[in-house]
Structures are given as structure tokens and as C-alpha cells.
Amino acid sequence: MLSDETYINEKIGQKNKAQLTVKNPQIINGGQTSYTLSMIYEANRLNSPELIFKEKEVLLKVITLIDNKNNEDKLRLIDEISNATNKQTPVINADRFANEILHQKIQKIVFEKFGLLYERKRGEFADGLKNNYIRSEIIIERNMFLRLFYAANGMINKGAQKRLFQGNNFPELDLEDGHAFDRFFVGLHVFRQLVKGKHPNKRMGRDIYAKVYVYTQLYLSEDLHTDILMVEENLKKLEEKWKEFIQYTKAKAKDDKRRYRYHDKDRETGEFKTAFSEITYYRSVALEKDVVKFFGTSDLIKDTT
């Protein structure tokens, strides 16, 4: 535990006991332990919880900062302590990365700008969900945030990658670019509309993330509130424009030997035919380049009516 000030008082009238007082406590390593203990206590709150914990102890190390005026230095120290202490036990890298300054800043921006809770640590808001004072729709899981942020800003291939957070490599993230965050916010609502009715654990293809990008190119305005209200209606228009894009791509594919073409054997003649595979195309990295080029330079971008 980290603290700004720590005091211990041995004169409390009980033998072999003392009172520990800490100011601004922050758990650096052991969050899961403390959460588990709190859940046990809560479950037995009406049935003498002190009996559950009788003769049981948890070792606590308290680190007190003498000079805590510089917040950047404090956050850096937290990173170093977290990395050092977590080497003692197996901890998923992504959970260690969650304490880094970058993710704390993202969490702050997303909450202050949109009222969303960026879940930089797994299960961070589980207690709020369990007790119904946090709604699930305002929580944005860390990998989902990164996928949509990248996709909405034209980096479709990166957005479609697995386990983005665990890689801990985000040089493209510009925390000073407010418009990039606006595109993410609208993209989140677009994504939720596009995947409505689909299985929540199903991995979405590049075409979904590509449509998130196209939407932010065609329909993003200066009024985010209006943008959100118009998502369902605008998506109907987008689907028509997407059909035009696929027709354009099919025509282009006739003279292109990239991997989104496939060879199929004719059952009657036994001959092989070459055809355009939309599914294979969606899996290819070529999709990003084509989408950005088509919707970034096409006259369609001017026609949003």
C-alpha cells in the first residue's frame, strides 16, 4: 500500500495491539486479495463477520512518500513498485500495464469527456455492477476501447488485432487530439448498433471496424449529441454506400491477384473458376487501404444526404 502519511499508535489500551492510520491509501499490489476479503465480509455482514476473520492475518507493507507534491513522479514510482512486486507472483502483463500513466490519463479523459468508464483493470467495476450503481453500457473494456479508437481513426487493421492491450504498444495514441476521441465516441455507438443481436463473445471481422471508420468519415459533425441520435438512420445510408464500395472492389479484383480472390471447381465441368470472395476480402489487410482510399477521396464523402 502507498500512502502520503502514516502514523502508528501503540497506546490504545489493548495488549499487543496498535492503531495504524494512513492518509490517501492506494493499493499497489494485492487489489484482488482486498477485493476478495471485502466480498467475504459483505456476504457475512449480517452473521458476525468477525468470526470469519478470527485468527487470520494478511501481511501488509506500507510505503509512505516523503515528498509527494509531484504527481508525475508519484505515478512513475507506482509503476516501478507495481512492476517490482508483481514479479514475485504470476500476474498477466496487461494487468501490470493498466497502472501506467497513459492508461490513467485515458481513463480520466474518457470519463470527463463522455461519462464512460475505461476499464483499464479487469473487473475494476465489478462491485458497482453487482450492486447496481454502475450501468454496464457506460463501461468500455480496455481492448474494445483501443479497437474502436484505432478503427474510428482509420487504423482498421490495428483495430482488428487480438489482445491489443497486452501488447502495450500504442505510439499512435495522441491524448491531445480531442477530435480523435470524438470519433471514438461516435464509433462506439455505431459499433453497438452494427453488432446488435450478434453473440457477445463472437470476434468481429474487419468489415465491422471498417464501417465504423466510414461512418466517422461521412456523418461526423460538430454536434456529438445529434450524431448519436442519427446513428440508426445514417447506418441505413451507409449500407447503400457500402454496396457501391463492394461493387467497385469486385470490378477492380478482376485484374488483381490479391488473396481476396479464390478458385472454385465447377462441379459439372471440373474446371476451376476464379471469383471474388467478400468474406476472404474482409479478412485481408487490403481492406483498410481500399476503404481509406475510396471513402477518403471519393465523391461519396461529399454526399451525406
Q: Is 117 found in the same domain as 62?
A: no
Question: Is 197 found in the same domain as 67?
Answer: no
30 and 140 housed in the same domain: no
- 2-22 pLDDT per residue, tens: 888 999 999 888 888 899 999
CB 152 within 8 A of CB 212: yes
Helix (H) or strand (E) holding 262: strand 261-265
Tally of CB atoms within 10 A around 206: 21
Q: What is the pTM of this model?
A: 0.69
What is the total count of domains within the chain? 2
Same domain, 128 and 248: yes
Given a cut of 70, is residue 94 above it in pLDDT?
A: no
In a domain, 184, yes or no: yes
270 domain residue, yes or no: no
120 lies in some domain: yes
Quote the CA–CA distance of 143 and 107 in Å, as a whole number.
13
Quick one: 131 and 234 in the same domain? yes
* Residue 127 domain-assigned (yes or no): yes
Q: Is 264 part of a structural domain of the chain?
A: no
127 and 206 within one domain:
yes
What is the rounded CA–CA span in Å between residue 10 and residue 5? 17
Q: Give yes or no: residues 82 and 105 share one domain.
A: no
Query: pLDDT by residue (tens digit) across 115-158?
Result: 999 998 878 888 888 888 899 999 999 889 999 999 999 888 88
Residue 273 lies in a domain: no
Same-domain status, 85 and 152: no
Q: Is residue 212 located within the same domain as residue 154? A: yes
Domain interval for residue 194: 93-255+281-305
Residue 262: inside a domain = no
* The pLDDT of residue 159: 76
Whether residue 54 is contained in a domain is answered as yes
Which among 91, 120, 137 is the end of a domain? 91
